Amino acid sequence: MTNLSVNINKIATLRNSRGENNPSVEDWALAIEKFGAQGITVHPRPDERHIRRADVFALRPLLRTEFNIEGYPAPEFMDLVLKVRPTQVTLVPDAPAAITSNAGWNVIDNIEFLSATVESLTEAGIRASIFVDPDPEQIAAAARTGADRVELYTKPYADGYAADREAAIAPFVAAAEAARKHGLGLNAGHDLNLENLKFFHERIPFLNEVSIGHALICDALVFGMETTVRKYLECLK
């Protein structure tokens, strides 16, 4: 079964635009769990422009599903996740000012840094996932760090889906097989949506998890959150 982890950053963005607590990040996270999602994802950035450190601490004791925290493993981020101890930490190579994740790690060039980071997470009992492009060599390197999983950066698939979905999926199938070969669990995320998710899952049925935020929150404006979560879950059957 492929789990759906909903990234709630955009809920926090809306809340922060007024400086109050409406919509409540905690209330919506619990509602999304109730609607059937198997996980909640947050990406606390240094400027706290959406999810704040305080949100991470507030969510941890409330959630009953898997809690995934994404971020660049700067000292402040590592201090946060080692205190909170979520189910999973997804390591991304984003610069502090990045609007959104736009590439996977060059694991080969950063293998010592990532290996040390993964070791810290593993010692704390946290599943470690490394955000990567669909490159079998980088996935092999991720396995050498001791990571539990990789998360495939799926924007290239989403961008190419309408023109030629077979060509768009091909490198991701190869990357997924490389992850299996090296004993890694497999996550995926970025620009997956109701149009392209079902085909992605059909071609890579052994996905452990997809993390979806922006598209899902946009769809919720049209369908409502409960119906939207169920539509995404239907794509993963």
137 is catalytic: no
- Residue 25: both structure tokens together: 């990040």
Residue 182 annotated as catalytic: no
Alpha helices in the chain (DSSP H): 9-16, 25-34, 53-59, 75-84, 111-123, 136-144, 155-160, 165-181, 197-203, 214-223, 225-235
Bond into 61 cis (ω within 30): no
Which member of 33, 43, 66, 209 is catalytic?
43
Task: Report CA-CA distances (Å) from 176 to 6, 146, 171, 222.
Answer: 21, 17, 9, 33
The Cα–Cα gap between 144 and 119 comes to 11
Contacts of 226 (CB under 8 A, 6+ apart): 31, 35
Instruction: For residue 123, indicate whether it is catalytic.
Output: no
| DSSP codes joined into one string, 172-206 | HHHHHHHHHHTT-EEEEESS--TTTHHHHHHHSTT
Q: What secondary structure letter does DSSP report for 36? A: T
Catalytic residue among 33, 151, 190, 201: 190
Which one is catalytic: 70, 151, 201, 209? Answer: 70
Catalogue the active-site residues: 43, 70, 190
